[in-house]
Amino acid sequence: MNNVSIRVKCPICKKDVEWADNPSRPFCSERCRLIDLGAWVSGDYTVPGEELPEPEESEE
């Protein structure tokens, strides 16, 4: 077996972190994980696609 450790850069702070046994991967910490989640929730990140039309209100 090869004992080479895989290291990646945290997508938020760019810190070099070990992949194996990292509960926050691909982030370096829970803090960076929450920063990323907040960016998704606030709409800083988007997935490209067609905009959906507004739903029509029913008259029930």
User: Six-digit token pair at 47?
Assistant: 């997935």
- Quick: pLDDT tens for 4-57: 889 999 999 999 999 888 899 999 999 999 999 999 999 898 888 998 888 888
In a domain? residue 49: no
Q: What is the pLDDT of residue 60?
A: 58
**CATH number of the CATH domain containing 29:** 3.30.50.10
- Domains: count for the chain: 1
The DSSP output letter for 51 is P
pLDDT of 3 strictly over 80 = no
Q: Which residue has the higher pLDDT, 11 or 3?
A: 11
pLDDT at 17: 93
**Residue of higher predicted confidence among 1 and 36:** 36
Residue 24 domain-assigned (yes or no): yes
Cβ neighbours of 59 (radius 10 Å): 4
Helix, strand, coil percentages (3-state) for the chain, rounded to 5, are: 20, 10, 70
